[in-house]
Amino acid sequence: MSEDVESDGITDSPKKGPTLSTSTSSFEALDPHDPNLSRLANTLFSKTSDYLYGELTSTLDDYRLLENMNKATTTKYSDMKQIATNMRKSFEELNEKYVTLVPILQQIDQIEDSVIKLEQAAYKLDAYSKRLEAKFKSLEKR
């Protein structure tokens, strides 16, 4: 049975029984060991902890930034929707006013056409009256 355990990579610890160890030296928590190695391991774990904390914090900051950007975008789109709604209402009101003014504008166009015709008739009449006056003066001189 011990051959099966050793062939699977499990060795017996003299103090605690079977352990999973891949190194040639086993580490027991209560065994004395190199203080320099302990200091370096503590430094490694501390720096690894700081690194992982920084990575997680930066990721969290990224998500907060994205959340704030999404909120700002939502607010901006909401404002734009309100502006578009107000513009649509204004355009509808303007269109309604234009529709009510169309008959009046047509009357104005007709009046303008009539005024142009009257003006042309007045010029013709003025020219005719000047010719008549000239003819009358020439007849008077005789």
Task: Decide: pTM greater than 0.95.
Answer: no
How far apart (Å, rounded) are the C-alpha atoms in residues 44 and 63?
28
The total number of residues written for the chain in this structure: 142
Per residue in 47-65, pLDDT (tens digit) is 999 999 999 999 999 999 9
CB 11 within 8 A of CB 19: yes
How far apart (Å, rounded) are the C-alpha atoms in residues 6 and 29?
22
Per residue in 31-50, pLDDT (tens digit) is 567 888 989 999 999 999 99
Per residue in 100-126, pLDDT (tens digit) is 999 999 999 999 999 999 999 999 999
